[in-house]
Structures are given as C-alpha cells and as structure tokens.
Amino acid sequence: MLDILNDEYYMGLALDMAAKASGQTGINPVVGCVVVKDGRIIGIGTHLKRGTGHAEVHALQMAGAEAEGATVYVTLEPCSHFGKTPPCCERIIDAKAARVVVASGDPNPEVSGKGIARLREEGIAVTVGVLEQRSQQLNEKFNKYITSRIPFVTLKTASTLDGKIASSTGDSRWVTGAIAREQVHTLRHQHEAIMVGIGTVLADDPLLNTRAAVPALDPVRIIVDSKLRLPLTARVVVDRTVRTIVMTSSQASEERRGDLEAAGIEVIVCGSGDKVDLVDGMAKLGALEIGSILLEGGGQLNGAMLEAGLIDKIILYYATKIIGGLHAPGTFTFPGYEKMADAVQLERVSVDMAGEDICVSGYPVY
C-alpha cells in the first residue's frame, strides 16, 4: 500500500510540472518526469518546447550519476524512436535506472508500447497506469491529434443565463467578469489556434491574441470567411506578429484571395461549394500540424461545428445576468433537433465558479 501511495505522490508531482507547460509544446504532448532514489528526489524535468529535450532528459541530467538504481516517474511512455530528439528510453537505459513508473502509454503509433517493451528488454522494472486518467486528460488534445491528424476543438463561449452572447443591439462588452476573461486568455495560450467567423471580425475587429496576467504564447488565428470579406485594414491582417489563416470556399474571389495573400494571410480553400466545408477544413488544418483549436465563434459557426460533430469539448461561461431580446444572438444558431431525445448530450460534466460567473464544461456525445 505504501508503494502505491509513494508512486501516486511522485507521479502527481510529475503531472503538476507537465501541466505548467501546457500550451508550450505545440502538437507534442506535455510531459513531466521525477527521478527518486532512497526516498529523495534527485531530478525533475518538463518538456518545454517542441524539438528540445524531453522531460526525462532534463530530469536525468539533473540526477547525474545518482540516477543509477533510481526510479524514474514519467507521465507518458518514454519514446523509443528518433524524432526531433533521440529516444528517451535509451537515455533511461544508459542512466542504469532500476525502475520506471509510467502514467499512460503513448497513443502515437510510432511509440505505442514500444518504449515500455524496450525498457523491459533491458531488465528494467516498469509499472504502467499510475494516475492514468489524469495523464490522459492532460494530453487530450495530443491524444486526438496523433491518432486522427484532426485538431482537437474546444468551444468556449460566454453568455447570459438566458443564453444570449450579446444584447439585441449587438453589445457584448462585457458579458462575463474579469476572472472569467482571464481564464479565457489562459485557454488561448493552451491551444495552438483560435478560430472565429468573419462576422466576429467585422463586428468587433478583434486582435485575437493572448492577454494573460503572465507572459503567454499567442495562438495561430483562424478566420472562417466563405466570401473573403475580411478587410485589409482589420487588425488581424495589419498585425503580422502572429500567423493568420483564412478558411474560405471555392467560390470566393481569386483577386480578393491574392490581395490577402499579398498582405501575409494564408488562405485555404475548403470544399467545392459556396460555403466553407468545415470537415475538409479541419483535415487541412491538421495537415498544417495544427493540433488544437479554441473555437470562439458566434452562434452560426458554433452551430455549424456542432452539427458537423467537430467539437470535442465545450466550455460555457454563464454570467448571472438575464438580458432577453427576441433578436439577441444566442450561443448556437442552427436548425436544431426535432426531439429532445436527439439533443447533443454532454458527459464528464463539471461545474465551477469563475468569480461571479458559472463555468460549465463537458464533452459532447454525438
């Protein structure tokens, strides 16, 4: 029993460190590692950036020669292949560790099970599954992308209690309070891209960057614009510090496309009709190695993405306000379902407070 408690304690530390790097590793997973010997932590490490040393490398470098005979706690199966960095399982073998405790196997087909098998080949004891559920949730975006090459999409929206994202006049500043808005900027940092519809850009001229209380990375900006109405004077066009992608239809103006591309905007044609084919668009974004998207669309884009089954997680912030308005825009604008039994159900639902606002999150079941 004591060994189990110790394993969970040290793995918890490794997971805490991995979580701190969320948003920094691109399409790679976040991973933490703790090296323990004789009840003493002798090395810690976190994967901080794609293409740089993995968590195990940093932790074993800190441990040095003391790593011989130690236990290595790592939140994801050590890699066994040469990618942008050498295989971590060979680094563990070279360090002569006695035992490796793994939270979760790596779903990457190039790794899955091979790293664990390689360690056992060398006589290293391996325990798998310690705090596995927490590890899998931490890397839910990576887990989807690496197995499907389709981005993990998180829908975030803020509305009043009666489901309005703005008043009937279009006023939406501010629906929720400062704490909720700060959390949203953290969410932007934790996703590789942020996606909105052209209506949002035309109405608000947003910069779509991350304005967190601490320094954070800005996501790639994605704008769904079937007719290429994006003005060349829009802030997302003028500001070239962040990569910007426009998803459009095959019917959009070639001249307009050329103007946007000359201004530094990437334009991708999605489908063959007069509307953006969102399924095709997600596949093309995945091919561009965009593994996660924070969807902050208006009602029409939110509804279209939900209808297409492209939303993986939903985060709804509810301000404790009621604004009414027969024509006030709502969270989802789409034909909907004829029967309550056909409604999209959320599972693994959690409810939290964000200051005076309510945050409901869950995973849609299609």
32 phi and psi, to 5 degrees?
Answer: -125, 155
Rounded-to-integer distance, Cα 14 and Cα 74, Å? 7
Q: Give SS3 for 298.
A: coil
For CATH 3.40.140.10, the residue range(s) in the chain are 7-142
Rounded-to-integer distance, Cα 151 and Cα 46, Å? 24
Identify the active-site residue in 8, 56, 90, 132. Answer: 56
pTM over 0.85: yes
What average pLDDT does this structure show over 321-348? 93
Task: Note the pLDDT tens digit of each residue in 114-165.
Answer: 999 999 999 999 999 999 999 999 999 999 999 999 999 999 999 999 999 9
Say what the pLDDT of residue 163 is: 92
What sign does the CA torsion over 112, 115, 117, 120 have? Answer: negative
Q: Which residue has the higher pLDDT, 79 or 263?
A: 263
For 33-78, what is the HEC assignment?
EEEEECCEEEEEEECCCCCCCCHHHHHHHHHHHHHCCCEEEECCCC
Q: Which residue has the higher pLDDT, 242 or 52?
A: 242
**Which residues carry a binding-site annotation for NADP(+)?**
158, 174, 200, 204, 226, 298-304
| Residue percentage of the chain with pLDDT more than 70 | 96
Task: Note the pLDDT tens digit of each residue in 170-225.
Answer: 888 889 999 999 999 999 999 999 999 999 999 899 999 988 766 678 999 999 99
CATH class of 150-365: alpha beta
Neighbours of 145 (CB within 10 A): 24
C-alpha R_g of the chain: 23
Say what the pLDDT of residue 50 is: 84
132 among known catalytic residues: no
**Which residues carry a binding-site annotation?**
54, 79, 88, 158, 172, 174, 188, 200, 204, 208, 211, 226, 296, 298-304
Task: Note the pLDDT tens digit of each residue in 184-198.
Answer: 999 999 999 999 999
User: DSSP labels for 134-150?
Assistant: HHHHHTHHHHHHHHHSS
What average pLDDT does this structure show over 318-329? 92
**Which residues carry a binding-site annotation for Zn(2+)?**
54, 79, 88
Superfamily of domain 7-142: Cytidine Deaminase, domain 2 (3.40.140.10)
**Which residues carry a binding-site annotation for substrate?**
172, 188, 208, 211, 296
pLDDT at 365 over 80: yes
For CATH 3.40.430.10, the residue range(s) in the chain are 150-365
CA distances from 134 to 103, 140, 192, 288, 302 (A): 8, 10, 21, 28, 28
Long-range pairs for 165-173 at CB < 8 Å and ≥24 separation? 165/298, 165/299, 165/329, 165/330, 165/331, 166/328, 166/329, 167/323, 167/325, 167/328, 168/325, 168/326, 168/327, 168/328, 170/203, 170/329, 172/204
**Tokens at 9, concatenated:** 């304690």
Task: Note the pLDDT tens digit of each residue in 16-53.
Answer: 999 999 988 888 999 999 999 999 999 999 998 888 88
